[in-house]
Structure 1
Amino acid sequence: MSTNLETLHTHGVSVWLDDLSRELTDGGELQRLVDLGVLGVTSNPTIFATALSKGDRYTEQVTELVKAGADTEKAVFEITTEDVRRAADILKPVFDRTDGLDGRVSLEVDPRLARDTAATEESARQLWKAVGKENLYIKIPATVEGLAAISTALSEGISVNVTLIFSLDRYRAVMQAFLTGLEQAKVNGHDLSKIESVASFFVSRVDTEIDKRLDEVGTDEAKALRSKAGLANARLAYQAYEEVFSTPRWQVLKESGARAQRPLWASTGVKDPNLPDTLYVTGLVAPNTVNTMPGKTLDATVDHAEVTGDTIRGSYGESQQVLDDLERLGISYTEVVELLETEGLDKFEKSWVELLQTVTDELERVKTQVDAQ
């Protein structure tokens, strides 16, 4: 195991990889990373679209789909669920070793459904059943409409990765949805110890948007606040996590075998080349958290991250001051997080359309070959 990843794990941080492709699973790279100390995998439409556009690892399955007469939607469903199954098998020993806490793979519902509660619920059921692996997370966006779907999925025994969280208020609503889902799962007779959840709180995109606004303000005070909002926002999210998971309501569920919904730090690759490339790793160390990293950030963490211990607890006053100072400069926190959610959904929808087009092109290419034989 990597020394730095082991140190992070010692301080309560599970390191996951934010990438998934058949090249990773079949080429042995994912197993190498697991041996290094990676404990889970997250995926999203952008990752799938990129994977499908490279290499020929998918040709055999696409050929089978063409011969079976599958349309694009069916092909996307079969290809992505197969990728997740393969990764889940590689991570199963981690799942067993950590009693189901880690060793999991995330698969997202169609992001075009993010504003449709019932459709999201049905998609979550279909994906959960199709993959058929206990070490799966279904990713559901934390839109207002997604909150009820999160509770429903959990109530049916489906483990959930809540994604695209930017605001503290929405994060609190997500945790309440988690508690509601587990309470209903208990009524439904599910074993709460088997239901896991993480809440993916996005970090670097907050800095990207706020730093742009700070540069427009242009004062020395504004310059001094650059690249502080992302960490401050995430640290205050952890404060909210500590508050919710110390309530009597949570205690009742805990006594029934439930485990807390862990905060997961997402969007942890730095966007500003002037920043330390492990900023959103070393700056967000605290017990019972997950940090999912793109490959470049993971490599940097293994190579030179300086993990000094807990960098979240004890920072809440300072973090709140950062957000207060931003408001004083005329930068609206509410406006920023609402914009980021809208942009995040738009990006995921565009990536999904790109994924559909990539698969359509691949189906047509292979069909031409099959017809010529």
Structure 2
Amino acid sequence: MIYMLDTADVNKIRRAYDLYPISGVTTNPTIISKEKSEFIKILKDIREVIGADTMLHVQALGIKAEDIIKEAEYLNKTIGGNLYIKIPVIPEGIKAMKLLKQRGVKITATAIFTADQALMAAMAGADYVAPYVNRIDNISGDGVGVVAEIRELFDIYGLDAKILAASFKNVQQVHNVALAGGHSVTVNPEIMDALLSHPLTDWSIDQFINDWGTVYGKDKLSSDVK
């Protein structure tokens, strides 16, 4: 499983990158706008935290292929590093994917709600496809089921594109996506923390500490005792 963090909050990225096996950061225009700061500065700050080799997924604005391509080239030149350009699965977006793939640009197809959208994006050259799990559920669909269908289609046709499942409300959805064969997930910092959270884990740690402290002293490590 490839874990990515879905935020543009540099402080939260720094914390999660320090603690967890984070392989990348994903953003979108909505996430970026919440930071209320200069767009390029936000991206450069994120790049500084995660380094040049870590994946950074940034969405190209525009709904015409030529505008998407212009944005993609600008972002690659300005931000650099291991950058993936997010492009929505609209007809002009698919056109842009085909052309950008020829130029060696890394692509993440986004705003995916059906397996057919993901398949076409992969055939157009997308490296990652991002189905919106919870948003599919919210329209009486089956987000995890769509992930499973995408995985089946990719396996049938031997495609190298990876599923980057997005839009999660809870840990259970992330768990079900993993069982369905999703290659990667992008989650907000709260869900990233929740993936490890369990009251019995906390209880067990407290019990270990209390029992150790009773005999060897509170706050002492094994290297402190003889």
Pick from 157, 169, 174 the counterpart of residue 281 of structure 1: 174
Q: Distance in 1 between matches of 2:157 and 2:43?
A: 32
Contact 1:84–1:106, Cα closer than 8 Å, also in 2:
no
Q: Distance in 1 between matches of 2:50 and 2:157?
A: 30
Describe the SS at the equivalent of 1:302: coil
Describe the SS at the equivalent of 2:195: helix
Partner of residue 129, structure 1: 77
Q: Distance in 2 between matches of 1:174 and 1:127?
A: 21
Partner of residue 298, structure 1: 192
Q: Distance in 1 between matches of 2:184 and 2:48?
A: 20
User: Relative CO higher for 1 or 2, CA cutoff 8 Å, sep ≥ 6?
Assistant: 1
Q: Distance in 1 between matches of 2:2 and 2:195?
A: 13
Q: For 1:26-79, what per-residue CA distance to the aligned partner results, in whole angstroms no more than 9, with x for missing partners?
A: x4x423211222221111111112111xxxxx4xxxxxxxxxxxxxxxxxxxx2
Partner of residue 89, structure 2: 142
TM-score w.r.t. length of structure 2: 0.80
Partner of residue 205, structure 2: none
More strand by share: 2
Matching of residue 244 in structure 1 with residue 174 in structure 2 = no
Cα shift at 1:143: 0.9
Partner of residue 198, structure 1: 128
Describe the SS at the equivalent of 2:35: helix
Q: For 1:224-282, what per-residue CA distance to the aligned partner results, in whole angstroms no more than 9, with x for missing partners?
A: xxxxx121111111111212226xxxxxxxxxxxxx221100112x2xxxxxx212211
Q: Distance in 1 between matches of 2:78 and 2:84?
A: 13
More helix by share: 1
Q: Distance in 1 between matches of 2:113 and 2:135?
A: 9
Q: Distance in 1 between matches of 2:143 and 2:13?
A: 29
Identity, in percent, stands at 22
Runs of 5+ consecutive residues of structure 2 not aligned to the other structure: 199-226
Partner of residue 17, structure 1: 5
Contact 1:175–1:244, Cα closer than 8 Å, also in 2:
no
Contact 1:241–1:263, Cα closer than 8 Å, also in 2:
no
Q: Distance in 2 between matches of 1:156 and 1:32?
A: 35
Matches within 5 A, 1:89-128: 89-92=48-51, 95=53, 103-110=54-61, 113-114=62-63, 116-128=64-76
Contact 2:8–2:27, Cα closer than 8 Å, also in 1:
yes
Q: Distance in 1 between matches of 2:173 and 2:65?
A: 32
Cα shift at 1:16: 0.7
Matched residues, number:
197
Matches within 5 A, 1:1-373: 13-21=1-9, 24=10, 27=11, 29-36=12-19, 37-52=21-36, 58=37, 79-92=38-51, 95=53, 103-110=54-61, 113-114=62-63, 116-131=64-79, 133-178=80-125, 197-210=127-140, 229-245=142-158, 260-268=160-168, 270=169, 277-285=170-178, 289-304=183-198
Q: Distance in 2 between matches of 1:157 and 1:288?
A: 25
Describe the SS at the equivalent of 1:138: strand
Cα shift at 1:288: 7.1
Runs of 5+ consecutive residues of structure 1 not aligned to the other structure: 1-12, 53-57, 59-78, 96-102, 180-196, 212-228, 247-259, 271-276, 305-373
Cα shift at 1:283: 0.3
Q: Which amino acid aligns with 1:238?
A: R
Cα shift at 1:162: 1.2
Describe the SS at the equivalent of 1:134: coil
Partner of residue 182, structure 1: none
TM-score w.r.t. length of structure 1: 0.50
Q: Which amino acid aligns with 1:91?
A: I
RMSD (Å) for aligned C-alpha atoms: 2.1
Q: Distance in 2 between matches of 1:136 and 1:91?
A: 12
Describe the SS at the equivalent of 2:22: coil
Contact 1:39–1:91, Cα closer than 8 Å, also in 2:
no
Cα shift at 1:90: 2.2
Contact 1:17–1:38, Cα closer than 8 Å, also in 2:
yes
Q: Distance in 1 between matches of 2:109 and 2:148?
A: 18
Contact 1:43–1:107, Cα closer than 8 Å, also in 2:
yes
Q: For 1:153-194, what per-residue CA distance to the aligned partner results, in whole angstroms no more than 9, with x for missing partners?
A: 121121111111111111111111017xxxxxxxxxxxxxxx
